[in-house]
Amino acid sequence: MTDLLADRPADPTRLADFATAHVQALAGALAEFGPAAGIATDWGTRLAGALSAGARLLVTGNGGSAAQAQHFSAEIVGRYGPDRAPFSAVALHTEPSALTAILNDYGVEEVFARQVQAHGRPGDVCVLMSTSGRSPNVLAAARRARECGLRTWAMTGPLPNPLGDAVEEVLPVRAASTATVQELHLLALHLVCEAMDAELARRAVGEVPPWPGT
């Protein structure tokens, strides 16, 4: 791709304008993030119980959302805060041989759905990430997850969107920019992890009864 700015000197004032606009957009979306923060905290609390009872987390997305999904699975298998036992989490886009085999044999819409069917079990949690809420392969994974008895949660941009309609629970971010949505999705993931750690700590000292499952 030709760099259209390569033959012109940078305009510091204009670059500062870009930065200011980006930060202002993020601040505006953050000011409306309260309901999403509540959803993230609730998810983290429930995820602690589900994973402690042997459930698995399946998570995926495309592009930047794929990177964030992989970040999420790493926090679950590794740790976010205090040391704790590892839990099972699979980012469905991270096994290239399976991904490309499914793509070649079944088409792009099946690349995540077939893995959900292979790895998911009733009671597992499937978290699907899409800023637009319209990615066909993510939508197919949501539908397959529900067919297989998994709990389906999604992080999206503004509602309404097809993914929000396809899952049981949705955490939407009200922002016009894909970048801003992704930035607040990362915040939401960290809030999920913080709430999960807090719930695991409460369970460790016997403040709550064992997870009954749903």
Mean pLDDT across 116-127? 98
Average pLDDT for the chain: 92
CATH superfamily label, 27-200: Glucose-6-phosphate isomerase like protein; domain 1 (3.40.50.10490)
Mean pLDDT across 173-180? 96
Percent of the chain at pLDDT > 90 equals 86
Note the pTM of the prediction, 2 decimals: 0.88
Confidence of residue 7 (pLDDT cuts 50, 70, 90): low
The pLDDT of residue 17 is: 84
Tens-place pLDDT, residues 10-57: 565 676 788 899 999 999 999 999 999 999 999 999 999 999 999 999
Least Cα distance to 90 among 180, 140, 150, 43 occurs for 150
Between 12 and 136, the higher pLDDT residue? 136
Least Cα distance to 76 among 64, 62, 95, 59 occurs for 59
The pLDDT of residue 48 is: 98
Mean pLDDT across 188-205? 96
Return the bridge partners of 58, or none: 90, 126
Q: Tell whether the model's pLDDT for residue 174 goes beyond 60.
A: yes
Mean pLDDT across 127-156? 98
Tens-place pLDDT, residues 95-114: 999 999 999 999 999 999 99
Output the furthest CA–CA distance in the chain (Å, rounded): 66
How far is 165 from 169, CA to CA, in rounded Å? 9
**Domain edges within the chain:** 27-200
Q: Are strands 151-156 and 125-130 parallel, antiparallel or unpaired?
A: parallel
The pLDDT of residue 70 is: 98
The pLDDT of residue 206 is: 79
Q: Give the C-alpha distances (Å, rounded to integers) separating 68 from 53, 75, 105, 153, 213.
A: 25, 11, 27, 15, 27
The pLDDT of residue 98 is: 97
